[in-house]
């Protein structure tokens, strides 16, 4: 008798777009909609959940919705990529856009403070994104094999 259960297939993305490119698109979409306290967490070596997290705050549920829609639209239009899973869009307090290698977390301020993902993943390299900057300013999102002057998209 075999006690082994069938193994579910691994999550896969539709395209082979580098995760840093997806994260740059997400960061710029969030900044365009005035998302607050944007941070990138490099999950390599810390967790098998994803390679990168992008975390941001919206001041109200309508802004959280606008941030989520902007990220989805930018990544879909630029890279023809759709999230593997979306969670929280009905309540808009914590929206998760899961692109397998990239997970975007969009919070209301109270929920972000309560869950404090930055503390939870405190061992991972983290970088704050300047509110008046762009994804090109984020060292964690630079492709190691591309010169800094060619880091857009």
For the chain, the domain total comes to: 1
Rg (CA), the chain: 16
Binned at pLDDT 50, 70 and 90, residue 10 comes out as: low
Of the CA atoms within 13 Å of residue 63, those in its CB half-sphere come to: 16
Residue 13 has pLDDT above 60, yes or no: no
**Can you give the pLDDT at residue 66?**
98
Q: Please report whether residue 98 resides in a domain.
A: yes
What torsion, rounded to 10 degrees, do the Cα atoms 6, 10, 11, 13 define? Answer: -140
List the domain range (segments joined by +) for residue 100. Answer: 19-118
**Which has the higher per-residue pLDDT, 60 or 150?**
60
Q: Please report whether residue 26 resides in a domain.
A: yes
Q: What is the CATH number of the domain that holds 43?
A: 3.30.460.10
Contact criterion met (CB below 8 Å) for 64 and 106 = yes
Quick one: which of 23, 17, 13, 91 has its CA closest to 56? 23
Contact criterion met (CB below 8 Å) for 67 and 33 = yes
Binned at pLDDT 50, 70 and 90, residue 122 comes out as: confident
């Amino acid at each position: 008798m075999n006690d082994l259960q069938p193994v579910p297939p691994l999550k896969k993305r539709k395209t082979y777009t580098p995760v840093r490119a997806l994260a740059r698109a997400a960061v710029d979409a969030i900044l365009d909609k005035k998302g607050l306290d944007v941070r990138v967490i490099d999950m390599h070596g810390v967790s098998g959940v994803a390679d990168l997290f992008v975390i941001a705050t919206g001041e109200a549920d309508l802004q959280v919705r606008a941030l989520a829609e902007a990220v989805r639209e930018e990544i879909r239009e630029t890279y023809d990529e759709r999230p593997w899973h979306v969670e929280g869009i009905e309540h808009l307090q914590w929206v998760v856009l899961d692109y397998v290698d990239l997970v975007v977390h969009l919070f209301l301020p109270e929920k972000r403070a309560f869950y404090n993902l930055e503390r939870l993943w405190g061992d991972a390299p983290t970088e704050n994104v300047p509110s008046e900057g762009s994804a090109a300013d984020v060292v964690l999102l630079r492709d190691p094999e591309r010169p800094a002057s060619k880091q857009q998209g």
